[in-house]
Amino acid sequence: MEWRQNGQGDLHWRGTQTSQNIPTGVHRWKRPQYGWSKCNTDGSFINTEIASSAGWVIRDSDGIYKGSVHATGRRTQSALESELQAILIALQHCWSLGINQLILESDCQKAVNIINSKQLHFAFYNWTREIRA
């Protein structure tokens, strides 16, 4: 999933269509355009009794590694909610570092669709509202 904010404050998300049953080939990391950074995120969910976790890697427009983080989030009810939480935590972290020209990528197509308003899911409204804010 990619997130980008243009000069007018619009949010743009882009994800990769994949299916669990069909191999899709090799997906290679692509550099963002000059002046932008890219953050690849992933969420982890075991069960509702264990706090979910999040991880992300940040690289600049030259592909140079700028850091990676692992964080423990709150307990979530599903893998999808863990992915949304990971996106939000990574986004907040990057902004706290002063990275405001940012592309976020995630492998969770359903999260991409919800954030892009292509799919409604009322249970995740608060997560998407925070991500968009």
Tell me the pLDDT tens digit for each residue of 86-108: 999 999 999 999 999 999 888 89
| Domain, as residue range, for 50 | 31-101
Structural domains counted in the chain: 1
Asked whether residue 36 is domain-assigned, the answer is yes
pLDDT digits (tens, 9 = 90+) for 3-34: 444 444 444 444 444 444 445 566 788 899 99
The predicted model scores a pTM of 0.75
3-state secondary structure 54-76: EEEEEECCCCCEEEEEEEEEEEC
CATH number at residue 90: 3.30.420.10
**CB distance 70 to 5 below 8 Å:** no
pLDDT confidence of residue 126: 83
